[in-house]
Amino acid sequence: FTEEVRRQIIARYGENALYEGGLSVRTTLDPKIQLIARKSLQNGLLKYDMLRGYRGPVKHIDISGDWGVALGNVKGLEDVPEWTLAVVLDSSADGLTIGIQPSRQVSGDLVKDR
């Protein structure tokens, strides 16, 4: 909802007016209800996704070298901040070893820790 309001204001008045023009914007949005709606939609989509079964990885990457660089370049899941991309590094009957997508420094470079 808020993103759509932002797009409409930019389309009508321009980006400068929105961020530097001192506009005051009021909407009918109730942030608490919006958060509940977002969580409800995410939960419903997750349940739907799980019922459909596993459909494969987002992307295949080579884990023989620095898998963090390859995983860091995979785009996806940005619209669900609670989720993080990971790569399976090893699997056995006892469990899995995974690597989490590395974060980025302010410069945009990937963090070196794995």
Q: Could you tell me the two tokens for 4?
A: 């759509």
- The model's pLDDT over 48-61, given as tens digits with 9 standing for 90+, comes to 988 988 788 888 99
> What pTM value is reported for the model?
0.55
DSSP string, 70-100: HHHT----TT-TT---EEEEEEETTEEEEEE
Query: Helix or strand or coil: residue 23?
Result: coil
- Average of per-residue pLDDT values in the chain: 87
Beta strand ranges found along 1-114 (DSSP E): 86-92, 95-100
Radius of gyration of the chain (CA): 20
